[in-house]
Structure 1
């Protein structure tokens, strides 16, 4: 076991010349709590590949597919609303343990489900765990970390989220060949890390800031000593924490949100925190993550296993470039990471929109004479054929020969087309390699998103508010995150049909540009300030 690692600090509110240190105990607390981030990523990411099997196994239409994806998000939203009160009442540590139990129970129930209703109940329970974890984990890490390492350690939570999404996509790929029961393993394996976290976190500390807020000063001193190391003077840090705790006693009762809104300084912070969470969702991150295999399939990759493995490649970009955020967060700051990330995301959404537009313009032609009369006989290309809900496009495996047929007649009489031909009612075969444009757009999206708009909403919200209103404001911001996550994921497939695939990504691009403008003028920089200093000082953006 290594001893503490020290650096020199000159931070406002702390004693100059003190030597803040990191200990193994601190890293264990941060990493074990970040398993909640891993589970958050795994349980929201695994559905991308599992959905391709679930829609066949349970015969899910578009509406049911959206429900299976979105019910987890609905559960997360419900518990995000409750998480603030739960954290204030029970503490950060018990809330993490409750989330671990919910992850375990939900994962086992999904793996054992025999109908779509049981599956959805399991997805809902997992969503409860995601909601508690998504708000509690970054706040816990921020509250146990010294100022110099806070940004890095909170950003590690986002790294774990993306690692969970990447591992989920690999698991999807491994079990893709088992089309009947592969989804059970995909959904059930999350119980293993959940149980590991639940057992190991029993030995981790409560947040010293929460302990001070409950007038447990001696316990807070003991925890802070273990987190900082034996040879570090913690008096100045503990004094600042107690001052914040005193504010909690005098200010943190009654209608907290009303007090925040009445204070112009905190109101602006609250708006920025909430809008960071809102824009993280409306720029379509979870459309990309939840539906990546479906998006790749839409772009012309008709083999489900290829689509699943390509989505694993997309998830790897998300994980790999999250490490860039960990490296840069204390070097360039939160504000620059946010703005540069939004600029790259806007460009990638333009590529995605353009890729689908080009692909739609080059969809397969109707090359086989139509033997059946009716409205479907008038179409010459796949895309207008599928735009008509009465028709489906049937093509050879290569996708270079096909015909447009009425759904009812084609399904009732499969002898009207060769036995090896593939009927499609959603996806057009795309000429040439145009599907790779979409894959490139997805990769560029996550390369841009992962270092900035991935971790920054969570990092900044864990820092913006004083202790007396931190849980409440962070909980509300997290609830907005999950609410808009729900709206975006619940509407993507429907909007892709109504606006076309290129149209829906163009809409997301417009949202991203508006977010860049908003945060350019309003987002403050919190790099290099203690949580207590951030809570007291009016910080304005520099532009």
Structure 2
């Protein structure tokens, strides 16, 4: 194993000794199923996707570039395309490559040494994606404070109706919104999808603010769900397709960070508008809380068409001159734009070869490698909800009111959760690629479970005689939960799902995974008020604490690591049968106990599951 891969494996919570067997020597009934032509074809195509130019001679490469330039109306950029193709084929050899001058080499050096030195348009695209994430966050959390008051105005006392009203956007997103992502992107592009979803957020925000009955408010919130699914699926993809490889991971990760910022803004507006009233409008405050969520999407709608469309989307529509122009605006030099436009074109050819004649949605479930990626992605998305985080995001104000605090005090305590969520989301850009997805989950699930148990049991403290102690303990449990969640379980689900699927089924895979997270988000929103009424806060928090311990168990035995793996390596990892994965890690329990609990260093090498070169 090379040293870098060894470091990645150890950072992901697995010992180097575990990874040995090369893909051909891993065998099981299921793996044999894939060792036929379909499996071999998948490996070959994955190898092509790692570098679709590998294996071509210089003459073949130049001939292909000339043909490409003529077919795609890019002859005016032929010289840069030729140099870019050579760079794309052997990116590490630019220092000694013929045809490059010192200016070209200095540009390529700066690409590595000054990776955040990007054109102004790249920063504009980053601001646009951050704005879209802020919209998402505010749409989720503004209801936290508003619900206290619209329940009173509309006299909503039934806990199931309360939960249904709060969760309506996520029901719509799971049933409709997520599944509109593919057609919206196909017909309107990434920018168009972001514009449409933000316009829906803008319109429904105003609609909620002027709703004159609970069912009118319900319709508005249900309509909001049309925006939630498409926006959450499209914005990270747009950022990834526009960004250069050296900062692509960090920009994609910023979706989670700026969503957390938007959640914090939702709490801020709840506090800001709490005391606002008008002579003829008794409950003006909650209307302003929800109406304020229309401001960020309006700003995004105004900005979205000032930034170029995704170059990759242009290429899927055979608009190569526009794709090249977009890349010229997103890259520091025309050489880098030419390199990327040709490389993306060749990667798209391989992807189209993979999709030809296949039912890609059906293959999410019928191809064992894809099925394992699907079950793993669905599970981490499910656990993002059932770890209990959105109980706090949607109901923390009510939780603090149940603890004995007034409306204003409860809103201020809730604001603390929003601030902590955002502050501790900042390290996620570092933790996600340093410690690995699996290791983060194994570390954070038990800690989150303990925090929720502590929060629930704090309700046993007598409200009459020790209100301050009771509130302090509840706040401590909730705040520590957010500290653990934000750099751990927070960023993992969307990152994991984006990596796990092969490219040819990734659109359907991400759509289904997103639908799972919003579907269980709805279930959580719907059931929390009834859960508290039936089992008391102690039982309700214990319920979600238990799911965190279940989550740890499933992750340990069944969830593969995906950090820093190539497409070929991911094929190898997800070709291991689930039962074999569980059997291996069950056998590793004594080893881990001796190594990490007893701190023994004289342990012999262990049985190995697979090897990643």
TM range, smaller chain = 0.7 to 0.9
- Alpha carbons 2:168, 2:222 under 8 Å: kept: yes
Which residue matches 1:443? 479
Q: Distance in 2 between matches of 1:47 and 1:30?
A: 27
In structure 2, what is the equivalent of residue 324 of structure 1? Answer: 427
State TM-score, norm by structure 2: 0.70
Offset of residue 486 of structure 1: 0.6
Q: Helix, strand or coil: the match of 1:121?
A: helix
Number of the residue aligned with 1:518: 554
Corresponding residue of 2:397: 293
Return 324-333 or 481-490, whichever deviates more.
Answer: 324-333
Residue 368 of structure 1 is matched in structure 2 by: none
CA offset digits 1:58-90 (Å, max 9, x no partner): 111123321221112122222012223322443
Change (3 A) 1:228 1:331: farther
Q: Secondary structure at the match of 1:177?
A: coil
Secondary structure, in 3 states, of the residue corresponding to 2:261? helix
**Structure (1/2) with the larger helix percentage:** 2
Q: Which of the numbers 130, 152, 164 marks the counterpart of 2:262?
A: 164
Match of 1:99 among 185, 193, 197: 197
> Offset of 1:538 from its aligned partner?
4.6
Q: Which residue of 2 aligns with 1:371?
A: none
> Contact 1:466–1:534 at 8 Å: present in 2 too?
no
Q: Does 1:483 align with 2:480?
A: no
Tell me the equivalent position of 2:252.
Answer: 154
Which of 250, 266, 274 matches 2:378? 274
Q: Structure 1 residues 271 and 236 mapped into 2: Cα distance closer, same or farther (>3 Å)? A: farther
Q: In 2 relative to 1, CA 174–319 (structure 1 residues): closer, same or farther, beyond 3 Å? A: same
Q: Name the CA shift for 1:431/1:538 in 2 (closer, same or farther; >3 Å).
A: closer
Question: Do the aligned residues in 2 keep the contact of 1:169 with 1:312 (CA within 8 Å)?
Answer: yes
Q: What residue is the counterpart of 2:137 in the other structure?
A: 41
Instruction: Tell me the CA shift for residue 534 of structure 1.
Output: 7.5
| Structure 2 unmatched ranges of 5 or more | 1-48, 52-87, 95-107, 278-282, 589-613
d(CA) in 2 for partners of 1:533, 1:291:
44
Whether the 8 Å contact between 2:562 and 2:570 is mirrored in structure 1 is no
Q: Does 1:509 align with 2:545?
A: yes
Aligned residues of 1:465 and 1:534 also touching (Cα < 8 A): no
Specify which of 287, 297, 302 is matched with residue 199 of structure 1.
302
Measure how far apart 1:237 and its partner are: 4.4
Distance 1:343 1:23 in 2: 43
Deviates more, 1:71-80 or 1:22-31: 22-31
Provide Cα deviations, 1:88-127, integer angstroms capped at 9, x if missing partner: 4432221111111101100111112222222222212222
CA separation in 2, counterparts of 1:247 and 1:121? 44
Q: 2:128 aligns with which of 13, 17, 32?
A: 32
For 1:87 and 1:507, locate their aligned partners in 2 and report how far apart those are by CA, in whole Å. 39
Mapped partners of 1:210, 1:192: distance in 2: 28
Number of aligned positions between the proteins:
464
Q: Which shifted more, 108-117 or 277-286?
A: 108-117
Distance 1:348 1:146, change over 3 A: farther
Q: Distance in 2 between matches of 1:334 and 1:510?
A: 21
Which of the residues 160, 163, 188 maps onto 1:63?
160
Does 2:457 correspond to 1:354? yes
TM-score, normalised by the number of residues in structure 1: 0.79
CA distance in 2: counterparts of 1:225 and 1:272, whole angstroms: 38
Gaps in structure 1 of 5+ consecutive residues: 1-10, 364-398, 401-429
Report the CA distance shift for 1:466/1:27 in structure 2 as closer, same or farther (over 3 A). farther
Please state whether the residue corresponding to 2:362 is helix, strand or coil. Answer: helix
